[in-house]
Chains A and B, each alone.
Chain A
Amino acid sequence: QQQVKQSPQSLIVQKGGISIINCAYENTAFDYFPWYQQFPGKGPALLIAIRPDVSEKKEGRFTISFNKSAKQFSLHIMDSQPGDSATYFCAAANEHSNNRKLIWGLGTSLAVNP
């Protein structure tokens, strides 16, 4: 059962545009939502994370928007650059559970055209 659904599977954006990746979750007990970025030939690396006490978190050109009632969160990449071309994974976990496993989305392959 896929508890975190990520869309789209792939995304092509022009340089300078906004990239938007969406994730939806089912388990209302989730309270930690990270995004990981993976370049070809590399392992994923933490990009940004949010907890449900805030509706938005921004780090540079990367913003997470969180909608608790809709059980959705999204990653926005402003002024997208070719160097942002990578696979992006959303994930979710319950920090207060004995089983605090991260549940991962299936990933979004982002290509930013120059």
Chain B
Amino acid sequence: DSGVTQTPKHLITATGQRVTLRCSPRSGDLSVYWYQQSLDQGLQFLIQYYNGEERAKGNILERFSAQQFPDLHSELNLSSLELGDSALYFCASSTGTGNTGELFFGEGSRLTVL
């Protein structure tokens, strides 16, 4: 158990809809990262927050947004969903600000867009 909690584990929705994925980091970790994993693209870094502030941005679509709240949990909002957004979405946390320390991943939220 990594200590990172993600909800929901599975989500099925329709194109055009909006969903919110939630992540609770490990106790004491200030950084939260969101990744998208699909079969053909591997792990794609979306965005990182550190102590409530956006720290780094990756290949995150404009239809996607995220935030980190004062209690350090984070939410990833996906809107105007398309079939291609079907993927596993992972949250990870770490103690520091950079990506070069150990990342602790949750078990992921599997999104299916029909």
Contact B42 A43 (CB under 8 A): no
Q: Is A45 positioned at the interface, with any CB of B under 8 Å from its CB?
A: yes
Q: Report which of A43, A49, A101 forms a contact with B90, defined as CB distance below 8 A.
A: A43
Name the interface residues of B59-114: CB closer than 8 Å to any CB of A: 90, 92, 97-100, 102-108
Across the interface, do B56 and A43 meet the contact criterion of CB distance under 8 Å?
A: no
B16: CB under 8 A from chain A? no
* With known contacts A43-B90, A93-B100, A102-B99, A107–B105 Cβ distance under 8 A: no
Cβ proximity bits A31-46 to B, threshold 8 Å, 1 near / 0 not: 0101010000111111
Q: How large is the interface on A (under 10, 10 to 19, 20 to 34, 35 or more residues)?
A: 20 to 34
Of the candidates B2, B97, B103, B104, the one whose C-beta lies within 8 Å of that of A102 is B103
Inter-chain CA distance A89–B37, complex, in Å, is: 12
Q: Which residues of B contact A100 (CB under 8 A)?
A: 56, 97-100
Task: Tell me, yes or no, whether A25 is within 8 Å of chain B by CB.
Answer: no
The answer to whether the Cβ of B43 comes within 8 Å of any Cβ in the partner chain is yes
| Sample (29) of A-B pairs whose CB atoms are under 8 Å apart | A32-B100, A36-B103, A41-B107, A42-B105, A42-B108, A43-B2, A43-B92, A43-B106, A43-B107, A44-B43, A44-B103, A44-B105, A45-B104, A45-B105, A46-B103, A49-B102, A89-B43, A93-B100, A100-B97, A100-B98, A101-B45, A101-B48, A101-B56, A101-B58, A102-B45, A102-B100, A104-B42, A104-B45, A107-B42
**A contacts, CB < 8 Å to B:** 32, 34, 36, 41-46, 49, 89, 93, 95, 99-102, 104-107
Can you add 12 more A-B contacts, CB < 8 Å, to A100-B97, A101-B58, A106-B42? A41-B107, A42-B108, A43-B90, A43-B106, A44-B90, A45-B2, A45-B105, A49-B102, A93-B98, A100-B98, A101-B56, A107-B42
